[in-house]
Amino acid sequence: MVQPTSNIEQIKSSNTLRRVTFTGSTKYFDHLESFFANFGSTIEYLSINIDLIYYIIDGKRLERELLDKMPCLSSLDLIIHSTTTYCDPLEIETFQSSTWQKFNPIVYCNDLHAHEHTIFTLPYKSDRVRDCFN
C-alpha cells in the first residue's frame, strides 16, 4: 500500500512495482498524478479507495493523468468519494472512452442533499455507497 505523499522524491525508484493500493483522504489529487508519472509504467493492478476533499474529478482527467501513465495496467478497482458543495454533477460520458472500456464499468452516484459524489468500478468492493441506492 502506498499512501499519497507530497514528497515523491522520498519514494525510492522501482522498476518492479506491479500492484498498488491507495487509501485514505486527500485534498490534492496532484499527489497521485505525480506518483503515476514517476512509477506508473510497470503497474499491472491498481486499487484506489480515497476521499477527495472539496474536489471532484472526471473520467478525462483520470484517463490523462493516471491510466495513460500505466500501459501495463490490467486490473482497476476504483472508489473515489468526493464531498463538495458548489459543484455540477459529473458527466458519466467522460468514462466511456476506449481506454475505460478495457476495465470494469464505472458507476457514478450523486447525492444532491449531502453534496456527495462517488465514482466506482463494478463489482463494488465496499459497503459505503449503499445509502445512494435506497
Query: Mind listing the pLDDT tens digit for each residue in 28-85?
Result: 777 788 888 889 999 999 999 988 877 777 889 889 988 999 999 999 999 988 877 6
CA angle 18, 57, 111 (to 5 degrees): 115
State pTM to two decimals: 0.78
How far is C-alpha 32 from the geometric centre of its chain's CA atoms? 9
How far is C-alpha 116 from the geometric centre of its chain's CA atoms? 15
What mean pLDDT do residues 20-35 have? 82
The pLDDT assigned to 80 comes to 86
Per-domain residue ranges for the chain? 8-133
